[in-house]
Structure 1
Amino acid sequence: MDYIAQHLAWMAWTWQTMVFFGAIAAMLVVMTLLAVYRPETPHVGILRFATTRSDRLFASLLATAFIFLFFIRFGVDNFLYPAIASLLLAAIMFRFA
């Protein structure tokens, strides 16, 4: 166990970063299982080009990064607001895109 800790010491592994990467890993597992057991055909939504669930997940994660960077740039200390904005955007993206 100490060997693994030494090789991961370059990054500040707090419980928040572990939850974040765990959530990303869980989303990838869920999307893989959905793709295997419930295949989807791409459809055109508000983005005006054909997207699948995986495309919408990627776009939501990318938009979330930009939302958080925007809030950080303007000095917002409370990350509840960008989190809510990101969740709303993801819900809209999965529903209408």
Structure 2
Amino acid sequence: MDWMAWTWPTAIFFMVIASLLVTFTVLALKFPETPRRGVLGMETTRGDRLFITLLGSAFINLGWLGLVGAAQPYALIVCLIYAAAVFRWV
């Protein structure tokens, strides 16, 4: 796997994604939920909101790289605010 750029930040990123998926699977099994209707007008579950958060965070980070540059810790703050808003109101 020398052709891949497996650095510690890359490994941590994939470990966080994997732990989120495991955590949300355990939550779904332990505390089943009914879908709720948010500001988008469609029914969403925890998993749907996680997907929306991950997808939106990817776009936030890409936009941040394109507009601001390499100061990614500030993009992480924006992503955390975005995630809180999605899980609260979507």
- TM-score, length basis structure 2: 0.95
Point out where structure 2 has 5 or more consecutive residues left out of the alignment: none
Point out where structure 1 has 5 or more consecutive residues left out of the alignment: 1-7
* 1:12 corresponds to 2:12: no
Q: Report Cα offsets for 1:10-35 as digits up to 9, x if no partner.
A: 21111100100000000000010011
Residue 55 of structure 1 aligns with an amino acid whose one-letter code is D
Residue 81 of structure 1: how far off its partner (Å): 1.6
Residue 96 of structure 1: how far off its partner (Å): 1.2
* 1:38 corresponds to 2:31: yes
Q: Which residue of 1 aligns with 2:88?
A: 95
Following the alignment from structure 1 to structure 2, what is the Cα–Cα distance between the partners of residues 39 and 10? Answer: 42
The runs of 4+ residues in structure 1 deviating greater than 2 Å are: none
Aligned length: 90
Equivalent residue of 1:32, what SS?
helix
Following the alignment from structure 1 to structure 2, what is the Cα–Cα distance between the partners of residues 54 and 26? Answer: 13
Q: Give the structure with higher Rg (CA).
A: 1
- TM-score, length basis structure 1: 0.88
Following the alignment from structure 2 to structure 1, what is the Cα–Cα distance between the partners of residues 61 and 20? Answer: 19
Residue 64 of structure 1: how far off its partner (Å): 0.4
Q: Report Cα offsets for 1:19-75 as digits up to 9, x if no partner.
A: 000000000000100111100100001121000000000000000010011011114
Q: Which residue of 2 aligns with 1:78?
A: 71
Match of 1:48 among 23, 38, 41: 41
